[in-house]
Amino acid sequence: MSLLTPLALLSILAIGPLIVAMYLLKLRREERRVSSTFLWRRMVRDVEANAPWQRLRRNWLLLLQLLLLLLLAIALARPFFLTAGISGRNLVIIVDRSASMAATDVAPSRLDAARQQALTLIEQLPEGGRATIIAAGGQMDVLAASTTDRRQLNDAIRSITISAGGSSDLSQALALAAALSSREPDSEVAIISDGNVRVPPEIRVPATVRFFPIGRGADNVAISAMALQPGAAGQTLFIQVTSYSPSPTTRRLDVYLDGSLFNAYDLAFGPDGANDASRVVVTDVPAQVQIAEARLNASPGTDHLASDDVAWAVSNTGAGTTVRIVGPGNRFLETALALLSGVTVTKGPLTAAAASDEVALPQITVFDGVIPDVLPAGNLLFIGPPRSTDLFSVTGQVDFPALRPVTTEPDTQGTSLLRNVSFSDVSVLRAARVEPGIWGRTLVEGDGHPMLLAGEREGRRIVVLAFALQDSDLPLQIAFPLLMSNIVAYLAPGSGVEASQIVPGQPLALVADPSTTGTRVIRPDGRSATAQIQAGQVIYADTGASGAYIIEQLRDDQVINRRRFAVNLFAPEESRIAPAGELSVPQVSGLQQAVTREQVGRQEVWRWLAAAALLVVVAEWLVYQRNGLAYLRQQLRFALATRRQ
Amino acid sequence: MSAGQTQPLFDSAFLRKLDRLALLTRRAMVGDIQGERRSPRRGASVEFADFRPYTTGDDIRQIDWNLYARMERFFLKLFVAEEELTIHLLVDNSASMDWGDPHKLTYTRRLAAAIGYVALATLDRVTVTSFAAGATAQLPGVRGKAGTLPLFAFLQRLMPGSTGDLAAACRRYARLAHHPGPLILCSDLLDPHWEDALRALGARPFEITLLHVLAPQELRPQLDGDFRLLDAESGEAVEITADLETLRRYDESLRAWQHQIEMFCHGRSINYVPVDTAQPVEEFILAMLRKRGVLR
């Protein structure tokens, strides 16, 4: 323990003797002549024989006053402990609120511990220091921006809640923190997290970054995947359960179909990373099953994260996607599309009558090497467009383009289209030189020209692949079926097995029926809500709670379309809750990259001393007024005695 | 206190009330000369006491001839002797008695005067003795109404002494007293050896009445604050912090002490009468002393 203003202790030397001197002066007792001290001596002897400390009694006031002086002097000297904390005047606190922060290995939860840590840091903030509170995880939120108002800061910290689907990506938060700290000197960035976060390597934070790790335990078993797919006999239910615990463990998996218990499995897991850390349950379930729910049961205290112990899968049998291929015919394309579950493929030239017939309108129209005069409604995929359309223009030809994915900032469209797809070994003979409109964003380019475009225009989604399939080896690559699957998922959102599984926080989206007049969403908790209809899509964004959602499209109160979605936390990086003790954050200033706890925070204790001084004042007053208190007690006893009579 | 010397001890109306009282004795006691008190001896009164067989040398005038006629043997007819009784008044005039409001010694003077007057009125003999270092005095013995003036004068002259050794004084008095009789000790007993004093008096067949005189300031001290209490006799000091708690303890201690004295007196058939000087002396004598069986 050290003192901030040790000179204040001199007040003891100054005031202490004064108190003692005043006490001695006061102690000059009044002399009084009495007939005899016989009785008084007798009384004093009795009292002192009973309590040896009785002699001290008369000095209580002095002792209490000296104690009070001591406490106040030490409080004025501002003693403090060095703790893990901060020392800067401009503080940026990044609080991780990703799903893994809901773990209960630190009672009551990691997020509570993180909030507590943040409050402590705010307390350590020097006079006039500013702080910014950033909640990272899922959507980044700036809850308090560079303010000195501690109440606002504390309220902001208390308002942080778990973002159920939030991934632990710190790049946005760190970028903001870097921007904030570059403006002011003496800045510090505090990251309060369990360490299961992604730190972008290219960032350089121009301030000291301190990491406050939260969490102790790593025991967690999660349902890492679950799907309900049409099978040979009815449907097939796949459940993958993965253990992230450092030691072998067992769980019971209960499977519920449409709310009633169907089966239970006892599963044994090896430690995290071992081959047997993951178990898969495959079982046939009846065709009419619509919602399957799996629950992991653990004895209390052995599973720290509850949110990944339950998962849902929904069946969308009969709600398939129709895809029409217009073109000379390509076996690769047809095969790849036919393999996708829930996709019905039709072929044939586009007639003007078919183009205007809304009822038979397919959701996706693929133009393989042809361009019609009139573009039909619905979402479009162009493969190797030979000429310009209203949407884009073809200005020539590119020979032997070297394909390169365009790295953009993480984006749902881009990432979903190129998910699991590698274009690096794809060779292309020639491609159309496509000049996109402003609607399209280039996902893959070759020699400066877009090779894969995607975008939305007038409420329809459009994907353009600039080269014909037969002009490249793409159909021979493993990337091809994946790319087709991604493209179909993009063009027909809310369809297919993949699409009915989303993570918490991700909006539900499906193609709206043109005749839809209203929507109804039935949430997992049974409440009803309304989804938005926007640009031909039904969108519902409030999916923070995991569970099964049902979206109904209504026409004049008649349900014309019903789709189910399962919102699950299938996030290995969140389920792996083992806390990290260190976090590597590159900084502009320091050589050190891994910043961990350092004893630089000052925890001042004068408040406790002041509180103790207050208690001493009360005690001194009570001692001083003991006559009155005794009188009161006597009166009370007397009153009680009279009442009893 | 000088006021006690100039003021008369009582007014005449009160003295007339005292005339109607008499000192009670529980048993007959031997006196010196003939008086009005029944004595254990046989003598010449009109009250028949006993018969006894005649022996040679007896006064033949006392032979009961009627009995001789019936029994043909000589019997003497004996009568109760009536003798005077000596009332011993012991007045403590040590410095501790020179204190209090109402003043303890003044109160004691009047008390002693009243009792002495009652005794003189019934033709008893009264001796008054005061004991205190430097102020020992004795009124050797007065009889009859004529003794009233010397008695009152003696009491009015009685000055407070300095220290008083109660035990030594009582021991000496018990040794020297001629005729043990009713003994009235007026003292505050504020002496560590009060038990010795009472024990010494109890060694002689006195019929002791203890008037335990305490001032209201001793019974219910009104103190608040830090005090250094000085003993009036020894000058010793006791430092106290007077608060309700201390006063409560004092009260407890005082009651325990009074109870102890009472028990001690009870065991030695001493009549213990606590006296609070706050009570007017007339009222005390006329009511309290009669109630406690000292006067009749």
pLDDT at A358 over 50: no
Which pair of structure tokens corresponds to residue B87? 């009332």
pLDDT at A355 over 60: no
Last residue of a domain, one of A494, A519, A538: A494
pLDDT band of A591, cuts 50, 70, 90: very low
Note whether A105 and A211 are same-domain residues.
yes
pLDDT at A590 over 80: no
Note whether A112 and A259 are same-domain residues.
no
Do the beta carbons of residue A65 and residue A620 sit within 8 Å?
Answer: yes
Assigned domain for A312 exists: yes
Q: Cα separation of B180 and A523, whole Å?
A: 115
Residues of A with CB under 8 A from a CB of B: 26-27, 29-44, 46-47, 57-58, 626-627, 630-631, 634
CA B262 from centre of chain:
16
Nearest to A36 among B190, B225, B227 (CB): B190
* H/E element, A395: strand A392-399
Residue A513 DSSP code: P
Q: Cα separation of A637 and A631, whole Å?
A: 10
Note whether A58 and A117 are same-domain residues.
no
Within a 10 A sphere around the Cβ of A625, how many other Cβ atoms? 12
Residue A504: Cβ-neighbour burial (10 angstroms; 0-12, 13-18, 19+): buried
pLDDT at A597 over 60: no
pLDDT at B88 over 80: yes
Q: Which residues on chain B are in Cβ contact (under 8 Å) with A38? A: 190-192, 231
A11 CA: distance to closest CA in chain B (Å): 30
Q: Which residues on chain A are in Cβ contact (under 8 Å) with B224? A: 627
Between chains, do B226 and A37 touch, taking CB under 8 Å as contact?
no
Residue of B101, B105, B109 whose CA lies nearest to B219 = B101
* H/E element, B129: strand B125-131
Question: Among A217-226, A561-570, B13-22, whose mean pLDDT is lowest?
Answer: A561-570
Confidence (pLDDT) at B212? 94
> Which of A396-400, A543-547, B199-203 has the largest mean confidence?
B199-203
A40 CA: distance to closest CA in chain B (Å): 7
Note whether A190 and A90 are same-domain residues.
yes
In A, minimum Cα distance to B244 occurs at A627
Question: Among A83-87, A157-161, A612-616, whose mean pLDDT is lowest?
Answer: A83-87
State whether the Cα torsion A434-A437-A440-A442 is positive or negative: positive
Confidence (pLDDT) at A85? 65
Confidence (pLDDT) at B32? 72
Confidence (pLDDT) at B4? 42
Q: Which residues pair with A321 in a beta bridge?
A: A343
Angle subtended at Cα A165 by Cα A159 and Cα A171, rounded to the nearest 5 degrees? 80
pLDDT band of B39, cuts 50, 70, 90: confident
Q: Which residues on chain A are in Cβ contact (under 8 Å) with B245? A: 626, 630
Mean pLDDT on A260-283: 86
φ, ψ for residue A232 (rounded to 5)? -65, -50
Between chains, do B228 and A630 touch, taking CB under 8 Å as contact?
no
pLDDT band of A53, cuts 50, 70, 90: low
User: Which residues does A80 contact at the CB level (< 8 Å), separation at least 6?
Assistant: A1, A2, A3, A4, A602, A603, A604, A605
Confidence (pLDDT) at A193? 86
Do the beta carbons of residue A513 and residue A553 sit within 8 Å?
Answer: yes
pLDDT band of A495, cuts 50, 70, 90: low
Between chains, do A57 and B218 touch, taking CB under 8 Å as contact?
no
Residue A118: Cβ-neighbour burial (10 angstroms; 0-12, 13-18, 19+): buried
Q: Which residues pair with A233 in a beta bridge?
A: none
* H/E element, A456: strand A449-457
Angle subtended at Cα B278 by Cα B274 and Cα B283, rounded to the nearest 5 degrees? 75
Angle subtended at Cα A168 by Cα A163 and Cα A169, rounded to the nearest 5 degrees? 120
Mean pLDDT on A23-48: 78
Do the beta carbons of residue A350 and residue A365 sit within 8 Å?
Answer: yes
Q: What is the CATH number of the domain that holds A381?
A: 3.40.50.880
Confidence (pLDDT) at A56? 57
Angle subtended at Cα A212 by Cα A123 and Cα A141, rounded to the nearest 5 degrees? 75
Q: Cα separation of A224 and A267, whole Å?
A: 14
The C-alpha R_g of chain A, in whole angstroms, comes to: 36
B185 CA: distance to closest CA in chain A (Å): 18
Q: Which residue has the tokens 């014909």?
A: A468
Note whether A153 and A245 are same-domain residues.
no
Note whether A243 and A261 are same-domain residues.
yes
Do the beta carbons of residue A575 and residue A164 sit within 8 Å?
Answer: no
Instruction: Note the pLDDT tens digit of each residue in B112-159.
Output: 999 999 989 888 889 999 988 777 888 888 888 889 999 999 999 888
User: Which residues does B270 contact at the CB level (< 8 Å), separation at least 6?
Assistant: B198, B202, B208, B209, B210, B264
Q: Which residue has the tokens 């090896």?
A: A270
Between chains, do B253 and A43 touch, taking CB under 8 Å as contact?
yes
User: Which residues does A202 contact at the CB level (< 8 Å), separation at least 6?
Assistant: none
Between chains, do B227 and A30 touch, taking CB under 8 Å as contact?
yes
Question: Among A441-445, B25-29, B276-280, whose mean pLDDT is lowest?
Answer: B25-29
Confidence (pLDDT) at A596? 54
Question: Among A52-56, A361-365, A478-482, B175-179, whose mean pLDDT is lowest?
Answer: A52-56
Q: Cα separation of A491 and A510, whole Å?
A: 10
CATH class of B3-29+85-291: alpha beta
Assigned domain for A526 exists: no
B107 CA: distance to closest CA in chain A (Å): 15
Do the beta carbons of residue A104 and residue A308 sit within 8 Å?
Answer: no
Residue A440 DSSP code: E
Residue B233 DSSP code: T
Mean pLDDT on A382-409: 83
Task: Quote the number of domains for chain A.
Answer: 4
Q: Cα separation of B218 and B103, whole Å?
A: 12
Assigned domain for A180 exists: yes
Assigned domain for A500 exists: no
Between chains, do A35 and B97 touch, taking CB under 8 Å as contact?
yes
Note whether A380 and A457 are same-domain residues.
yes
Last residue of a domain, one of A475, A494, A513: A494
Residues of B with CB under 8 A from a CB of A: 96-97, 99-100, 104, 188, 190-192, 215, 217-218, 223-234, 236-241, 243-246, 248-250, 252-254, 257
Q: Which residues on chain A are in Cβ contact (under 8 Å) with B233? A: 36
A45 CA: distance to closest CA in chain B (Å): 10
- A591 versus B100: the higher-pLDDT residue is B100
Mean pLDDT on B251-269: 93
Between chains, do B229 and A34 touch, taking CB under 8 Å as contact?
yes
Mean pLDDT on A108-134: 86
- B40 versus A637: the higher-pLDDT residue is A637
Between chains, do A34 and B215 touch, taking CB under 8 Å as contact?
no
Between chains, do B188 and A35 touch, taking CB under 8 Å as contact?
yes
Q: Cα separation of A423 and A439, whole Å?
A: 23
Which pair of structure tokens corresponds to residue A20? 């003692």
pLDDT band of B211, cuts 50, 70, 90: very high
State the Cα torsion A94-A99-A102-A103 to the nearest 10°: -110
Note whether A592 and A623 are same-domain residues.
no
Confidence (pLDDT) at A534? 78
Residue A248 DSSP code: -
Residue percentage of chain A with pLDDT more than 70: 87
A215 in helix, strand or coil? coil
Q: Cα separation of A177 and B255, whole Å?
A: 82
B214 CA: distance to closest CA in chain A (Å): 10
- A563 versus A176: the higher-pLDDT residue is A176
Note whether A28 and A95 are same-domain residues.
no
pLDDT band of B2, cuts 50, 70, 90: very low
User: How many Cβ pairs closer than 8 A exist between chain A and B?
Assistant: 98
State the Cα torsion A27-A28-A34-A39 to the nearest 10°: 30
The C-alpha R_g of chain B, in whole angstroms, comes to: 23
B265 CA: distance to closest CA in chain A (Å): 19
Between chains, do B246 and A634 touch, taking CB under 8 Å as contact?
no
Between chains, do B190 and A41 touch, taking CB under 8 Å as contact?
no
B181 CA: distance to closest CA in chain A (Å): 31
Q: What is the DSSP string of B18-59?
A: HHT--B--SS----SSEEEEEEEEEEEEEEEEEEEE--TTS-
Note whether A229 and A335 are same-domain residues.
no
Q: Cα separation of A143 and A522, whole Å?
A: 31
Do the beta carbons of residue A224 and residue A241 sit within 8 Å?
Answer: yes
pLDDT band of A407, cuts 50, 70, 90: low
Which pair of structure tokens corresponds to residue A235? 């449907």
In chain B, CATH 3.40.50.410 sits at: 3-29+85-291
pLDDT band of A389, cuts 50, 70, 90: confident
Residue of B3, B1, B234 whose CA lies nearest to B99 = B1
Nearest to B238 among A37, A57, A626 (CB): A37
Confidence (pLDDT) at B49? 84
On the CB side of A566, how many CA atoms lie within 13 Å of its CA?
24
Confidence (pLDDT) at B45? 76
pLDDT band of A55, cuts 50, 70, 90: low
Mean pLDDT on A353-361: 49
Question: Among A257-271, A434-448, B1-15, whose mean pLDDT is lowest?
Answer: B1-15
Residue B286 DSSP code: I
Residue A413: Cβ-neighbour burial (10 angstroms; 0-12, 13-18, 19+): middle
A16 CA: distance to closest CA in chain B (Å): 23
Note whether A70 and A167 are same-domain residues.
no
In B, minimum Cα distance to A634 occurs at B244
Tell which of A25, A29, A30, A36 to mutate to test the B interface (max B CBs under 10 Å).
A36
B173 CA: distance to closest CA in chain A (Å): 24
On the CB side of A490, how many CA atoms lie within 13 Å of its CA?
24
Between chains, do A33 and B236 touch, taking CB under 8 Å as contact?
no
State whether the Cα torsion B174-B178-B179-B181 is positive or negative: negative
pLDDT band of B70, cuts 50, 70, 90: very high
Q: Cα separation of A620 and A551, whole Å?
A: 71
The type of residue at A455 is G
Do the beta carbons of residue B87 and residue B181 sit within 8 Å?
Answer: yes
Between chains, do B192 and A38 touch, taking CB under 8 Å as contact?
yes
Residue of B104, B84, B112, B103 whose CA lies nearest to B18 = B112
Q: What is the CATH number of the domain that holds A259?
A: 2.60.40.10
Residue percentage of chain B with pLDDT more than 70: 98
Q: Cα separation of A437 and B20, whole Å?
A: 142
Assigned domain for A542 exists: no
Residue of A370, A362, A572 whose CA lies nearest to A460 = A362
Between chains, do B227 and A44 touch, taking CB under 8 Å as contact?
no
In A, minimum Cα distance to B214 occurs at A35
Do the beta carbons of residue A326 and residue A370 sit within 8 Å?
Answer: yes
The question of ipTM being above 0.85 is answered as no
A426 in helix, strand or coil? coil
Q: Which residues pair with A375 in a beta bridge?
A: none
Do the beta carbons of residue B233 and residue B162 sit within 8 Å?
Answer: yes
Compute the mean pLDDT over every residue in chain A, rounded to the nearest whole number.
81
Confidence (pLDDT) at B276? 93
pLDDT at A539 over 80: yes
Question: Among A290-294, A337-341, A406-410, A420-424, whose mean pLDDT is lowest?
Answer: A406-410
Instruction: Note the pLDDT tens digit of each residue in A222-247.
Output: 888 888 877 666 788 888 888 888 88
Confidence (pLDDT) at A390? 82
Domain encompassing residue A611: 2-81+607-644
Note whether A310 and A441 are same-domain residues.
no
Q: Which residue has the tokens 């001695």?
A: A24
- A70 versus A54: the higher-pLDDT residue is A70
Within a 10 A sphere around the Cβ of A391, how many other Cβ atoms? 22
Q: Which residues on chain A are in Cβ contact (under 8 Å) with B229? A: 31-34, 37, 40
Nearest to B229 among A37, A58, A631 (CB): A37
Compute the mean pLDDT over every residue in chain B, rounded to the nearest whole number.
86
Mean pLDDT on A93-104: 86
